[in-house]
């Protein structure tokens, strides 16, 4: 169900999150129109399936800009107002590749690992102001971004044999726990990386 269908109000604003000036301007505009931003979920989706020797400078810069740089710019922009209000929620998207990597995407794994480390550091700095900061590490999720991985031969059989849940995860199975981390019920959870992977990292 959409926000508006549920009786709420929604505002969308598309921008290039790898451009700090543009991202800051959009955040200013959204803050002005909504009266302030209390929750930041940094989930810019990028994925690159390349060995390190085939990863160009542009590949590396693009992945880190889309994930880590955009999250840092947004947190830097929104943090002061959250501190003033003494309430805020920040959730950064990482990946289980940081815990169980097959070596197929080292640049993406490095960027995802940096997101989890950034969340941990932010949590300590912001906790005195009533702000929580956590990371979410999705496993094998059935999304447009993972099309490139699902197209690899024999992956369906591999998922069934290696993931205890024997299936790909659904997007809402990331959305529900992420939404929980943004509620008052999760006010004492901070600096945590929540793994949502159907049990694969527990089975390794």
Task: Report the alpha-carbon distance of residue 104 to residue 197 in Å, rounded.
Answer: 18
Q: Which CATH architecture has domain 20-199?
A: 3-Layer(aba) Sandwich (3.40)
Position 40 scores a pLDDT of 98
Position 115 scores a pLDDT of 96
Please state whether the predicted TM-score (pTM) of the whole model is above 0.85: yes
The mean per-residue pLDDT over the stretch 10-34 comes to 93
C-alpha neighbours within 13 Å on the C-beta side of residue 158: 9
Position 82 scores a pLDDT of 98
Mean pLDDT comparison of 35-49, 148-162, 176-190, highest-scoring range: 176-190
- Segment 154-183, tens digit of pLDDT: 776 777 788 899 888 999 999 999 999 999
Domain borders along the chain are: 20-199
């Amino acid at each position: 169900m959409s926000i508006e269908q549920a009786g709420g109000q929604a505002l969308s604003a598309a921008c290039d999150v790898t451009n700090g000036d543009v991202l800051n301007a959009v955040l200013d505009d959204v803050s002005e129109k909504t009266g302030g931003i209390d929750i930041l979920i940094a989930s810019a989706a990028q994925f690159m399936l390349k060995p390190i020797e085939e990863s160009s400078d542009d590949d590396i810069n693009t992945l880190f800009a889309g994930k880590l740089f955009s999250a840092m710019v947004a947190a830097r922009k929104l943090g002061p107002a959250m501190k003033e209000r003494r309430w805020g929620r920040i959730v950064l998207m990482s990946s289980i590749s940081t815990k169980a990597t097959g070596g197929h995407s080292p640049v993406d794994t490095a960027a995802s690992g940096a997101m989890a480390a950034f969340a941990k550091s932010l949590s300590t700095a912001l906790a005195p102001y009533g702000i929580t900061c956590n990371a979410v590490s999705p496993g094998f999720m059935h999304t447009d971004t993972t099309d490139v991985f699902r197209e690899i031969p024999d992956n369906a059989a591999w998922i069934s044999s290696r993931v205890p849940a024997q299936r790909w995860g659904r997007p809402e199975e990331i959305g529900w726990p992420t939404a929980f981390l943004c509620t008052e019920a999760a006010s004492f959870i901070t600096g945590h990386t929540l793994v949502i992977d159907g049990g694969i990292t527990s089975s390794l």
